[in-house]
Structure 1
Amino acid sequence: MSEPERSLAAQEQLRVEQLKQADFNLQLATISNQTTKEELETTEHQVKIDKIQRINSKNSPSLPNSNSSKLSEITKLLQEHEGGWLYTLCTTRKVLIIEGEQDSFKSYTAALISFLRFHLKEHKLGWIVDSDYHQNKQKAWSILQKLGVEAYGANKNGEGIKAGIERFLEGIKIRDEDSSDVETIIFDELTTYGDYSECEDVAKSFMKFALSAPRKAAYGLIAITHAMTNEGTGKGAGMAATRKRGTLHLLLHADNDYNLTFQGILNGFKDDSGQLLEDLPVTLPDWFRPSKVAAMVNS
């Protein structure tokens, strides 16, 4: 090979090496960009987790030093009342739907159940969505105030209701029952959610996720409504069978003058053998009242 030929071959070899290096640099840049994208997605996901954890930690005080003998007494009372159905409601995290007309003790019952879950099972109190919270704060929800309750939707605020629903929908994406503390969350005045233009869309999908997702996200969800219809559950549709199989449904009664009867019908409750008991007549015991329960726990 002549000198010119060797020089030409060397130049060609150099070009080949330069092309290989350029291709390598391109691959390296692609990998780097992909890594950066994955790191960014991971960071954004962690930010969401941290945000919810900060909210939860703010509303999750330590358990009070309640009298353990009193809690044992309450446990016994719950277990011995009408086959233990009320004990189940006060210790489970299965979705609970409380239905009833005005002045049937719905919200008070939800508050007492949440209060006892906190003391008996260490279920933290998450938040309440209630368009009438401004009226109910010192009434139905008064027993929960010392637990650090956070509320959405007071004063008929549609944006607030939407925020409370979206917090739940975000939570079921990032929480899991293995690493998250169990939280009780309450959605009151469910009948009205679909009437607010701000939350009409999320209200329609809320009940579907409320029936299927809380357990895996370590939520004990309580929903309160005036009627177990599509209209009464946020204008969602096609969930009748799921409601029947997957929830506890307590229907509370009032008399013709909206006086409390402390009586109702329970569906979704199973006996010790796992058999479903339909249309079970139930009563709320005389001691199952805010002042009496608070006194028993705090004495």
Structure 2
Amino acid sequence: MGLTDDENEAIKNQLQLEDYLKTRAVKHSEMDKQIASNLLDKHKAEKEIDKLLYKKSSQPLTNQSSDKQLVNSLIEALKSHEDGWLYDLIKNAKPLWLIGSQGSGKTNTAGAIALIRKYCFDAPIYQLIDRHATGENWEVWKLLDATLKAESEEEIGQALYDATDRWLQRIKEKPSTKQQIIIDEFTNLKKIDSCKEAAMKFFSMHLTDTRKGKEYFIGVNHYFTNESTVEGTFEARKSGTIQLKKFSANGETPLSRVQIVHGLVDENGNELEEVERTLPNWLEANNIYQHFNGKPIDFNHE
């Protein structure tokens, strides 16, 4: 006996319903898989983001720690050299004068000391005064990244006046931060009509005002006599400045030998006058710059 039309229709509807349910189940399964995949991708993405954020947040701390280690290693090397006189000299707020004949390496030593003060004592180089700033001395001076440079006679004359005015202003403001000024070949400036008056005032005031204004001073000169500086300032020069003499055996090659002429004292407070010392081999401007820019000095093998 065959099925009636109603029974056939019922079976057909039943089969269609089952097909629909199966299709929906498959779609739901695929959707569940896609959702799971999306969640997994999201989780992976969040982990990667977290890694990047952690790396980014920890980078300054890592750099900060590394910079501190570089500073500490250099300061330790300074303190360990001989009796620590070089560390005392660099940290001292008195104006520092490097004197010596041609070829004794005065400019290079000035640059090295300025860079140590910059990186270790947070004292950027604010002003550089040198008639040869972009000439023979440029290889050293470019490492300092000075804010202001004076090279021409007109620039130098104005820079000398600006410096004396700035010192007075800094003394009034009592700044908490330090900065530096460097002047090369001061003797020659006295012989230039447009600079002579400013140079005389500059020299007299630098004996006291640089220290009070928290401005590290480095001067480079062949001599430090009345003729090469300012007459009538002998006692002030002796008590208010540090004088370090450099040497060369042939007028071209600097020697490690130096002489503390005056301005420093020993651990008992006794004046060091014409005392022989040496500079470490690593005390070169480029070495100090590289130490803080990707090529640390290995003090154990220097």
TM-score, shorter chain, exceeding 0.5? yes
8 Å contact kept, 2:112–2:286: no
Superposition deviation, residue 143 in structure 1: 2.1
Spell out the pairing of 1:116-265 with structure 2 (5 A cutoff). Answer: 116-136=116-136, 138-145=138-145, 148-153=146-151, 157-176=152-171, 178-233=174-229, 236-265=230-259
Q: Distance in 2 between matches of 1:246 and 1:291?
A: 30
2:276 is matched with 281
CA RMSD of aligned residues (A): 1.8
SS of the residue 1:286 aligns to? coil
Letter aligned with residue 259 of structure 2: I
* Matched length: 229
Moved over 6 A (4+): none
Superposition deviation, residue 124 in structure 1: 2.2
Superposition deviation, residue 105 in structure 1: 1.1
Q: Distance in 1 between matches of 2:98 and 2:179?
A: 18
Q: Distance in 1 between matches of 2:168 and 2:71?
A: 35
TM-score normalized with structure 2 length: 0.71
1:25 is matched with none
What fraction of aligned residue pairs are identical, expressed as a percent?
Answer: 27
Q: Which has the larger radius of gyration?
A: 2
User: What residue ranges of structure 1 are gaps of 5+ in the alignment?
Assistant: 1-63
8 Å contact kept, 1:158–1:197: no
TM-score normalized with structure 1 length: 0.72
8 Å contact kept, 2:115–2:288: no
Q: Distance in 2 between matches of 1:142 and 1:282?
A: 28
1:271 aligns with 2:271: no
Q: Distance in 2 between matches of 1:264 and 1:126?
A: 27
Q: Distance in 1 between matches of 2:100 and 2:199?
A: 20
User: What residue ranges of structure 2 are gaps of 5+ in the alignment?
Assistant: 1-62, 295-302
Q: Distance in 1 between matches of 2:213 and 2:182?
A: 15
8 Å contact kept, 2:103–2:252: yes
The one-character-per-residue Cα deviations of 1:61-111 (angstroms, maximum 9, x if unpaired) are xxx956221211111110011211111222222110111111111111111
SS of the residue 2:91 aligns to? coil
- Of residues 270, 285, 289 in structure 2, which corresponds to 1:290? 285
SS of the residue 1:262 aligns to? strand
8 Å contact kept, 2:140–2:286: no
Q: Distance in 1 between matches of 2:286 and 2:156?
A: 29
1:102 aligns with 2:102: yes
Q: Distance in 1 between matches of 2:137 and 2:273?
A: 34
